[in-house]
Chains A and B, each alone.
Chain A
C-alpha cells in the first residue's frame, strides 16, 4: 500500500509506502530536510503535519514533547503514513522549481531503437496535452507483469510533451529493463505517472553550466541541454558524456552538430576503456577527469549537473569539489539499480543533497 505525501512549501507530491518513514521517503525523493540522529532522540527532523494521519512511531518525550504532539508536530524519522499526507517542512524552496501536478497517463510505444548494444531508445506517444514537466525530471513506468514501477528520466525537452523519449540501459537480471529490451513491441500501451524529481536547471543563477553524464545518464542531460538551447540561454553550456568504448557512444552526431551551430555550447565525449579496434581521436579517461582537465582552473562560478550510476556520481562530486565547487552548486541524479544495493544510499548527514 502506498500513499501520497505532499511537502509544503514546495507543493511537491511523492509516494510513500506503509512501512516507510517520512524521512526515508523524503530523502529518497531528493527532498532534503534537516535530520541528524535518525531514531527519534534529537528532533532535528521535526515537521508540521497539515493533513492526514500518521503513526508517530516512538520518538523520545524530550525530542517530541506533548504540547508539540498536540500541535501536530511529528518527527519524520519515526512517523509512518496511515493516509495521504500533507506536511510542512524546513526545506529550501527552489525558485527554479515548477510544480507540475503528477498525472497518470497511458501512452503508446511509437518507436524502439537500439542506441547501443545495451541501451534502447524508446519513444512513447501521449494523447491530449501530453505531459508537463521540467527538463531533467523522470516518470515511473508500470511494467506489465512486474511489481512496482520503474523510474526513467525523460530525454525529450518539455517543448515536446506528446512524444516522450527514453534511453534505457539493460540491467542484468533486471525484470523491468528486460521487458523493454526483449518483449516490448511498437504499438504496445504503457501506463506511466509523473513527473518526479528535483533534477532541473537552476536558470535563475545565471551561471555557466557543466553537465556530466555517465552512460544512459545522458537522457536527462539531453532534455536539459535541448531545453536550454531552444530557450536561447546565453550562459555557456558544456556537456561531457562518459562511456566505456566507442560502441557505447550514442547521440554523438546530434551533440556534435549542436556544438557546431551554437557558440556557447561545448560537447565532449570521453571514452574510458577503448576497444582495440576503436578509431577514437577524442578525449579518453573517466568523464570526471576529462572535465577536470578541460576546466584546469577549477569549477568555481559554475553550476554542475551530474547524472549517471552511483560510482560515476561519486567520482564526479570528488573532482568537482577538488575544483572548489561545493554542494550548493552541484545537482545530481543517481541512477540506482538493483545491482547497486543499499550501500549506494548509505551516507553520513554531512551532505544534504549530494
Chain B
C-alpha cells in the first residue's frame, strides 16, 4: 500500500486541512476557555464524531463566491440601468420587499453574528469551522440583499432606515425577538433553532414565497439575489441536519433536550412565518400559491418524511404542528387584518384587496374565506370608499413570546380569539397560543425580560405619548411610509409612470 500511495479523497483532504487546528489549552482549563458549551446539558463524548457537512476550503470559497457576486452585481446593474422597477407588476408589490428588507435582511446579519459567536464557543474544531463558514455566508447574504433592494429606495418609501427600524418598530420586534431569543441561548440551542428548525424545516416556506413572488412580479434583481443565496443555503441545511444527528448520537440524554428545542423552535419559526403567509396571500399582485398550499407542500409532505426519519432516534414531530395545520386556512387572513388595523404605524402600506383578488382567496380557501373573512374586507372597503378608512386607535395586546398582536383564534373555533396566560412572580403574562405559553413556562426568567413594543410605548420609552412622537422615534415618515396604499406617494408615483407609459404608447 505505502509504495503505491492513493490519491486522497475529498473527505480525507478536508480532514487534513481542518483538523488539528485546535489544541488542548494549558494556561487555562478548557472549560474556562469554552464556558458555554456544557451548561445546556448536551453531552459530547467525541468531538471527532462530527461529520463535516460540507467540505469547502477558504480559497475555493472565495473563488466561488466571487463568481456568484460578479453574476449578481451584473444583474443588479442592468436592472438599475433598465429601470427595472418600472417592469414590476404593480407598486403594491414593493411592500412585500419592504418587509423583506426591514424584517429579513436584519436576520441575515443577526445570523452572521450568531454563527460567529457559536463558532467561537464550540470546542470541537469541526463544528467550529462549519459555523464560521456559515457566518461569512450570512454576512454576504445581508450585504447582497441590501445592495439588491437599495435600488427601490431611490423611488419608493419605507426603505430608508431599516436598520434603525429593526430595533424599534413594533412588528419588527417579531423577527428581532425571534433571533435574539436564539442568540441568547446556548450554542447548541442556537444551531438547533437556526440551522435545523429554521434553515432546514421551515426554510422553503420563507424562501420560495419571496423568490417566486419576485419572479412572478417582474423583480429580476431580487430573484437573482435569491438564487445566489440559495446556492449557499444547501450548506446551511446540511449543517442543520448534521448538528442534530451529532447531538442525538453522542448521548441518549441529549434526545429529550433536542426534542424540547425542536418543539420550541418549530413554533417560534411558524409564528414568525405568519408574516410570510400574509405576504403570499395579500401582497403579491400576481400570486404564486396560497399559504395553505405552501404549508401542505413544504411542511406536511416534506416535513413528514424528515420526522419519520427522526423517529428512528426516538424523536417525535414538533408539538403543536397539528395546530399549525389547523390554522392554515385562516392564518394569512388574520394577520392581514391585524396589519390593516395598524397600517398607520407601519413602514409599509396595506389596502383593500381588489375583486379578482378576493375571488382568488375565495377559491383558495373555500371553507373559510367567504364565511369568515370576505364580509369583513367588503365592509372595510365600503367604509374606506365612504372616507372612513379604519385605523385602530387602541394599542394592541401583544403575546409575550412571539410579540404578535393577540389576533389569532382558538384552534377549534376560528371565531374566538385565543387567550392564554401564566402567572410568574405575581405578574400575569399573556400569550396567543398554547405553543407560545409553553415556551414561556419553560423559561419564564428569560421571557419576562422581553422588550414588548406596546408596553414600552406605555412606559414612555418610545419617544413620547402620542402616535406622532412614536413614529418619529421609529424614523418613520408619517403620511408617507405608512397608511393605506390608496392615496400614498408610492401610488401617485406609480400612477404617473403608468400614465406616461400609456401616453408614450399612443
Contacts and interface: CB of A to CB of B under 8 A. Distances in A.
Interface of A: 9, 34, 36-37, 41-44, 60-63, 65, 67, 90-93, 317-318, 321-322, 324, 326-327, 346-351
Given A36-B238, A42-B233, A326-B249, A348 B9 contact: no
Given A44-B235, A65-B71, A348-B305, 4 more contacts: A60-B230, A62-B71, A65-B68, A347-B309
B302 A348 contact: yes
A191 B58 CA distance: 52
Contacts of A63: 227, 230-231
Interface in B11-67: 11, 54-55, 64, 67
B7 A9 contact: yes
Interface string B295-316: 0000000100110111111100
Interface in B53-111: 54-55, 64, 67-68, 71
Contact of A90 (B10, B233, B237, B305): B10
B371 interface: no
B227 A42 contact: no
A332 to B, nearest CB: 12
23 contacts: A9-B9, A36-B238, A41-B227, A41-B230, A41-B234, A42-B230, A42-B231, A42-B237, A60-B230, A61-B227, A62-B71, A65-B64, A65-B71, A90-B9, A90-B10, A90-B11, A93-B9, A318-B312, A321-B313, A324-B252, A348-B305, A350-B244, A350-B310
Nearest to A62: B231
Contact of B231 (A41, A322, A350): A41
A349 B309 CA distance: 9
A132 B305 CA distance: 38
Interface string B269-312: 00000000000000000000000000000000010011011111
Nearest to A67: B67
A44 B305 contact: no
B314 A322 contact: yes
Contacts of A41: 227, 230-231, 233-234
B409 interface: no
Q: Is the interface of A mostly helix, strand, loop or mixed?
A: loop
Contacts of A347: 305, 308-309
B259 interface: no
B448 interface: no
A10 B306 CA distance: 29
B341 interface: no
B7 A92 contact: no
Nearest to B234: A42
Given A65-B64, A321-B313, A350 B306 contact: yes
Contacts of A326: 245, 249
Contacts of A321: 312-314
A60 B227 contact: yes
Nearest to A90: B10
A43 B55 CA distance: 12
A34 B231 contact: no
B241 A62 contact: no
* Shortest 8 CB-CB contacts between residues of A and residues of B: A42-B234, A348-B306, A62-B231, A36-B234, A350-B309, A348-B305, A44-B234, A62-B227
B233 A61 contact: no
Contact of B241 (A9, A43, A93, A350): A350
Nearest to B67: A65
B312 A62 contact: no
Contact of A44 (B54, B228, B314): B54
A348 B244 CA distance: 14
The winner among A9, A60, A348, A351 for most chain B CB atoms within 10 A is: A348
Nearest to A9: B9
Contacts of B309: 347-348, 350-351
B70 to A, nearest CB: 9
Contacts of B314: 321-322
The winner among B249, B302, B310 for most chain A CB atoms within 10 A is: B249
Interface string B365-407: 0000000000000000000000000000000000000000000
A130 B48 CA distance: 44
A346 B305 contact: yes
Contacts of A350: 241, 244-245, 306, 309-310
A236 B61 CA distance: 46
A61 B71 contact: yes
Contacts of B237: 36, 42
Contacts of B230: 41-42, 60, 62-63
A34 B51 CA distance: 12
A9 B11 CA distance: 12
Interface string B333-350: 000000000000000000
B340 to A, nearest CB: 35
Contacts of A44: 54, 234-235, 238
A347 B306 CA distance: 7
A65 B68 CA distance: 8
Interface string B211-232: 0000000000000000110110
Contacts of A90: 9-11, 55
B215 to A, nearest CB: 12
Nearest to A325: B249
A317 B231 CA distance: 33
